[in-house]
């Protein structure tokens, strides 16, 4: 697909670094650009609040499809299957047809899909990164202080919650369930907009 002027950048949002995400990249045998994004820079820049997220960028640097839960292929986790088969064909259609692809969104649709952050949520960004700094310094107490602040400032960011919980795995599932229950039906992704077969 590289020959057709197409690149994939896959960015693991993993403060745990190579130890946490490296093996998964290795197992996948990735031939595309792989980044372990310790500070969640991509999520921060693109206003992503969870993984997986994806963005399509055209030859001029303009976003032509934005933020969707992109389990691009079927995955199995034990007996639990998730993901979908119709995402990759959509990407292929875009590679072939460019702006004429029916999967390309209009500029106004893209802008509408980008959810601006409140000033509190903006403050959550450097606060989370301060937590990352202390975590990398081995100061877990301070890391937790700032990660908790970041989660309070932007409760919509699942990235902040789930990254924090990943360091206390025993409580992670309970935390996730509590948060999920509180959320009700509130969506945090744009609908994928692909027809289910």
Q: For residues 56 and 190, is the Cβ–Cβ distance under 8 A?
A: no
Q: How far is the CB of 173 from other proteins (least distance, A)?
A: 12
What single DSSP character describes residue 99? G
Distance of CA 55 to the CA centre of its chain: 10
Cα–Cα distance measured from residue 180 to residue 32, given in angstroms and rounded to the nearest whole number? 33
Cβ proximity to other proteins, 184 vs 191, nearer residue = 191
Cβ proximity to other proteins, 59 vs 185, nearer residue = 59
Q: How far is the CB of 187 from other proteins (least distance, A)?
A: 18
Q: How far is the CB of 195 from other proteins (least distance, A)?
A: 20
Q: For residues 84 and 74, is the Cβ–Cβ distance under 8 A?
A: yes
Q: For residues 110 and 54, is the Cβ–Cβ distance under 8 A?
A: no
Cβ proximity to other proteins, 126 vs 183, nearer residue = 126
Q: How far is the CB of 184 from other proteins (least distance, A)?
A: 23
Q: Please, what's the largest Cα pairwise distance for the chain? A: 52
Cβ proximity to other proteins, 61 vs 184, nearer residue = 61
Q: How far is the CB of 106 from other proteins (least distance, A)?
A: 10
Q: How far is the CB of 166 from other proteins (least distance, A)?
A: 4
Q: For residues 131 and 152, is the Cβ–Cβ distance under 8 A?
A: no
3-state secondary structure of 83: coil
Cβ proximity to other proteins, 76 vs 119, nearer residue = 119
> What count of residues does the chain have?
197
3-state secondary structure of 33: strand
Cβ proximity to other proteins, 110 vs 156, nearer residue = 110
What tokens does 48 get? 């992503």
């Amino acid at each position: 697909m590289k020959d057709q002027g197409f690149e994939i950048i896959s960015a693991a949002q993993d403060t745990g670094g190579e130890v946490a995400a490296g093996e998964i990249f290795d197992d996948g045998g990735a031939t595309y650009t792989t980044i372990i994004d310790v500070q969640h820079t991509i999520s921060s820049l693109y206003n992503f609040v969870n993984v997986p997220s994806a963005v399509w960028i055209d030859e001029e640097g303009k976003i032509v499809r934005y933020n969707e839960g992109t389990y691009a292929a079927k995955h199995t986790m034990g007996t639990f299957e998730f993901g979908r088969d119709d995402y990759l064909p959509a990407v292929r259609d875009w590679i072939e047809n460019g702006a004429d692809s029916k999967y390309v969104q209009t500029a106004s649709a893209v802008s509408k899909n980008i959810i601006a952050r409140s000033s509190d949520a903006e403050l959550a960004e450097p606060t989370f990164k301060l937590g990352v700094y202390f975590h990398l310094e081995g100061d877990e107490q301070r890391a937790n202080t700032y990660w908790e602040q970041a989660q309070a400032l932007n409760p919509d960011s699942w990235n902040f919650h789930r990254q924090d919980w990943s360091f206390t795995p025993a409580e992670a599932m309970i935390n996730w369930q509590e948060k999920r229950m509180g959320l009700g039906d509130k969506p945090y992704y744009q609908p994928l907009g692909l027809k289910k077969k």
